[in-house]
Structure 1
Amino acid sequence: MNHRCAVCQHLREPSFLKIKEYPDSVLYLNEDQFFKGYCILEYKKHVKEFFDLSEEERKNLMNHVCFTAKALQTVFSPDKINYELLGNKVPHLHWHIIPRFKTDPAWPEPVWTRPHPPKKYSIEQAQQVIFEIQKWL
């Protein structure tokens, strides 16, 4: 854990947006739901680059990404799932897993290209979405 890292700090805090905790990572519903079903999978160890993981760690993490994507496909029926592993702003491994719809305002561009007002769910709304996703994980 790195005490100055935003992801490390987030992992230490309780969150009503937590969907599932794996031994090596935690899946959250993104706070901003402008893109419906947007999730973030945060790796528990403070690791900056994907290649720094062992082969087994990479395999496990990618399985969790795939399980999440399949659950999102089942729950939301998007036209496409986007996967983002950037780390330019927050150099800690975390995957953005984003259901995309041809009707969304940024289609077909990446979500980062379209500034938008955040859409935040109430705790009850978030819990309902989380419950639906959890049924498929």
Structure 2
Amino acid sequence: MTNCVLCKDNLKPEEGKLIWRGDDCRVILVNHPDLPGFCRVIWHRHVAEMTDLSYGEREHIMTLVFAVEAAIRHVMHPDKVNIAALGNMVPHIHWHVIPRFKDDACFPGSAWSTRTQEPKESAIEVRRKKTQELPAAIKAAIANLA
């Protein structure tokens, strides 16, 4: 598919940072101003639905999603982690792995909900600093899968 934002490999800094790339998937640290630590696990091939993948491929991507979740929990210590695969805007398999905190802008709603509160900038800054540890933690979690 042409013009799919998830098919492209070159990210602009405002879009995020490539953390890990394997044969079938990659992990991106999303540059989200309100949700530091937000990651995406993206299937390389342009496929719209999980059932378009083989059983082994489904197992593979979910194993990566859970490794990313574990790394986020270890580094960020969130109150909750949201895992979502919507694909309504971009029909390309990708999973959102999002650390959530009771004081984040949309809590307890989804990351795409209307803001319900203004988080303290000092709390956001602490979380931004913690995200610097995420690439190494995610790479280590994935390496430990082998």
**Alignment TM-score, normalising by the size of structure 2:** 0.77
Tell me the equivalent position of 1:3.
2
Tell me the equivalent position of 2:103.
103
Percent of matched pairs sharing the same residue? 33
Tell me the equivalent position of 1:88.
88
Q: Which runs of 5+ in 1 are unaligned?
A: none
Q: Which runs of 5+ in 2 are unaligned?
A: 118-124, 142-146
Alpha carbons 1:74, 1:136 under 8 Å: kept: no
1-structure distance, mates of 2:21, 2:29: 12
1-structure distance, mates of 2:50, 2:84: 12
What secondary structure, in the 3-state scheme, does the structure 1 residue paired with 2:132 have?
Answer: helix
Alpha carbons 1:75, 1:132 under 8 Å: kept: no
2-structure distance, mates of 1:23, 1:82: 25
What displacement does 1:41 show? 1.0
What secondary structure, in the 3-state scheme, does the structure 1 residue paired with 2:7 have?
Answer: helix
What displacement does 1:15 show? 6.2
Tell me the equivalent position of 1:25.
25
2-structure distance, mates of 1:45, 1:24: 7
Q: Match of 2:109, as an amino acid? A: E
Matched, 1:128 2:127: no
Tell me the equivalent position of 1:38.
38
Instruction: Decide whether aligned partners of structure 1 residues 135 and 85 sit closer, same or farther in structure 2, where only a CA change above 3 A counts.
Output: closer
What displacement does 1:4 show? 2.5
Instruction: Decide whether aligned partners of structure 1 residues 135 and 47 sit closer, same or farther in structure 2, where only a CA change above 3 A counts.
Output: closer
Matched, 1:65 2:65: yes
Q: Compare 32-41 and 72-81 and name the one that shifted more.
A: 32-41
1-structure distance, mates of 2:80, 2:131: 24
RMSD of the TM alignment (CA)?
2.5
Q: How many residues align?
A: 128
2-structure distance, mates of 1:111, 1:14: 21
